[in-house]
Structure 1
Amino acid sequence: MTAEYRIAEDRLGGEPTLAVSAPDDSARVVLALRGATLLSWQVRHGAAGPLKELTDGYRDEKELLSQDGVRAGLLAPFPNRVADGRYHYDGHDHDLLPGHHEDRTIYHGFAREAPFELVHTTATADSARLLLRTTSVRPERHPGYPFALDLEVEFTVTARELSIEIRAANVGDTTAPYAAGWHPYFTLSRPIDDLALHIPAHTLIRTDASLIPLPGEDALLPLDDCPDMDFRAPKRLGDAVIDACYADLTPGADGRIETVLTDPATGEELRVWQYGGYMHVFTGDTLARDRRASIALEPVETMTNAFNRPEHLAALDLEPGRRREFSFGVGYAASGS
């Protein structure tokens, strides 16, 4: 009988987790049910080498609960920031931070802390699929977001790739603003300064000092005019400090957009892929732990503060009874593979 992928329940302190292992132990993934959060993704390096950690996730329960750095957080119903925690939608003003008068920073939505449950698994000799769901996004749960969403996240694990699809269904009576994304940190076991990055983008989103995009067309900066931030040709990160969104991404023949992180010394590659959207890059300079030890390569459906940008409203609209999907993932290639 052919061996299949194994899926086991485990815990990170008091937090329930799921561990997924390949039949030959050549790949291992650990997910926390809180936020459907990827904690670890390990792949065998070489034909018979050890497992290699490729993500820089939360290491213990305290880190997971703190959400510091939003390590591998699923970003919904909005990615990145909403300016001043306020937005206007469908004729109504909404305040995501009622009662807050000084620190008005809110970012990355509610899904990353939501309680998910495992509803279905499929295991074969070649892959494992896990479907997780939460019904926690309801009007009474989140100030300033009076909409009802059911969220599903499907993870597919294979020998060298991790695929994710996040799906939102509007189960309420009114159209909801919605967009999704992912906030993973990747590592190739060396400082990011030594790694090379390739982003198939033609435009950089310009922001103010609070990382909020400038109004209208002023936010769109052609990368021809910003060579220091241009990674259309792969180049070494060096001491570049980046917390920026890239737009006008060019897909390959299969429709996938691929952002590639490479270790020139070994030839190893991580290919972060997505269907549509934007790529947000963060070099981790302000992390509380291990600054610049990993890099966040974030597939997102919209730019920062899309809830306050009229040109994005039609794309945000999720009507009652409708569902939207956003697919992304990452693959690993060892030198010569």
Structure 2
Amino acid sequence: MPEVLELRHGDHRATVHTTGAALGSLTREGRDLVWPYERRPEAFQGQVLAPWPNRVGGARYRFEGDEYRLAVTEPGTGAALHGLVHDVVWEPLAVAGHEVRLGTDLRGGEGYPFPLRLEIGYRLDEAGLTVTTEAANTGTDTAPFGLGFHPYLTLGAPLRDLAARDAAHLSVPARTYQPADDRLLPVGDPVPVEGGVFDLRPPGRAMGGTVLDTAFTGLERDGDGRAWVWLSGPDHRVGLWCDRSFGWLQLFSADTLDGGDRRAHLAVEPMTCPPDAFNSGTGLIRLAPGERTRHTFGITSAGFGTPS
């Protein structure tokens, strides 16, 4: 049966849904750091994106000389969107007050006949949330694999309102971005952000009317190998970091959502590969039988009660 698991540490709280092993909420001092949900997510809130993030164009790909066809899950573009595990009920493997670990076996089927074992750990500490994922190939053939996550960062007020008065600022440590066509599939190679609308490097700039549904790469990292995105508001800021296994960040300003959700929150999606990697091969992980891969990202906050 699906469950909602609660985590607590100091002034941080989080919930994790066994359906999709998804992040349902994250708060500090009772204030949301991500756009939360209780029952059903909207626009992939908090979801795990595996064995591919973003889109597989035309819902088909070739791997090791064979062609595979996936279900079309985004009719508007004809793509297969965001993998196969967000509606799977995962098994809780370990549950403690401040952390939980969940696992599932992706047994392989039509379109993706590659068995995988996936395990995800969510842990709270004084710095915030850390999420660690391990994937193992349990089959007999090499498997194509990519991973992403879909949290929406929030500042406690709709970003469209904060941006209108230049009170929302965004910092993205990316030197290049990936141009895309009207189906949001890559066109050509990544290009420099220098001096353009997508130049959001530290110290960042006011979001204003910037529209984003964009993949960034060429990530600048700190001494620990982490790339940081910061969303800053009038009295605090929220950050997402990812380790070197995540070479891409997709940012989505939610302009295509309806009603009060439009431009209310910012999706910051760490990805191991860009959109349509199953076709391009860019950043694609080729997991040999018995091979494992590990990936870590986190969400934190700063400046509560003081100007950011």
TM-score, scaled relative to structure 1? 0.83
Shift of 1:187: 0.7
1:206 equivalent in alignment to 2:174:
no
Aligned-pair RMSD on alpha carbons? 2.1
Q: Structure 2 matches for 1:132-171, cutoff 5 A?
A: 132-135=102-105, 137-140=106-109, 143-171=110-138
Deviation sequence 1:213-236 (CA, Å, 0-9, x none): 01xxx2311112x51111013101
Distance across 2 between alignment mates of 1:176 and 1:190: 42
| Equivalent residue number for residue 319 of structure 1 | 288
Shift of 1:306: 0.4
Shift of 1:84: 0.4
| Equivalent residue number for residue 19 of structure 1 | 6
Shift of 1:97: 2.2
| Equivalent residue number for residue 74 of structure 1 | 48
| Equivalent residue number for residue 43 of structure 1 | 28
Distance across 2 between alignment mates of 1:102 and 1:55: 27
Q: Structure 2 matches for 1:179-198, cutoff 5 A?
A: 179-192=146-159, 193=163, 194-198=167-171
1:285 partner SS: coil
Distance across 2 between alignment mates of 1:304 and 1:102: 16
Structure with greater helix share of residues: 1
Letter in 2 for 1:17: V
1:332 equivalent in alignment to 2:308:
no
Q: Structure 2 matches for 1:96-111, cutoff 5 A?
A: 96-97=70-71, 104-111=78-85
Deviation sequence 1:219-255 (CA, Å, 0-9, x none): 311112x511110131011111110000100110111
Distance across 2 between alignment mates of 1:101 and 1:228: 29
Q: 1:79 to 1:287 in 2, by over 3 A?
A: same
- The answer on whether the counterparts of 1:273 and 1:328 sit within 8 Å (CA) in structure 2 is yes
Letter in 2 for 1:271: G
Query: Which residue of 75, 78, 86 maps to 2:60?
Result: 86
2:197 partner SS: helix
Distance across 1 between alignment mates of 2:278 and 2:63: 8
Shift of 1:334: 2.4
| Equivalent residue number for residue 269 of structure 1 | 237
Query: Which residue of 251, 254, 270 maps to 2:224?
Result: 254
| Equivalent residue number for residue 200 of structure 2 | 231
Letter in 2 for 1:293: A
Shift of 1:130: 1.2
What 5-or-longer segments of structure 2 have no aligned partner?
none
Distance across 2 between alignment mates of 1:278 and 1:101: 25
Deviation sequence 1:277-310 (CA, Å, 0-9, x none): 1111000111245111110011111000001014
Distance across 2 between alignment mates of 1:27 and 1:202: 33
Distance across 2 between alignment mates of 1:156 and 1:164: 7
1:131 equivalent in alignment to 2:116:
no
| Equivalent residue number for residue 8 of structure 1 | none
Q: 1:171 to 1:189 in 2, by over 3 A?
A: same
What 5-or-longer segments of structure 1 have no aligned partner?
1-13, 45-50
Distance across 1 between alignment mates of 2:75 and 2:32: 42
Query: Bigger radius of gyration, 1 or 2?
Result: 1
| Equivalent residue number for residue 48 of structure 1 | none
| Aligned-residue identity in percent | 30
Q: 1:70 to 1:76 in 2, by over 3 A?
A: same
| Equivalent residue number for residue 33 of structure 2 | 54
| Equivalent residue number for residue 265 of structure 2 | 294
- The answer on whether the counterparts of 1:43 and 1:160 sit within 8 Å (CA) in structure 2 is no
1:308 equivalent in alignment to 2:274:
no
Shift of 1:15: 3.9
- The answer on whether the counterparts of 1:160 and 1:333 sit within 8 Å (CA) in structure 2 is no
- The answer on whether the counterparts of 1:97 and 1:104 sit within 8 Å (CA) in structure 2 is no
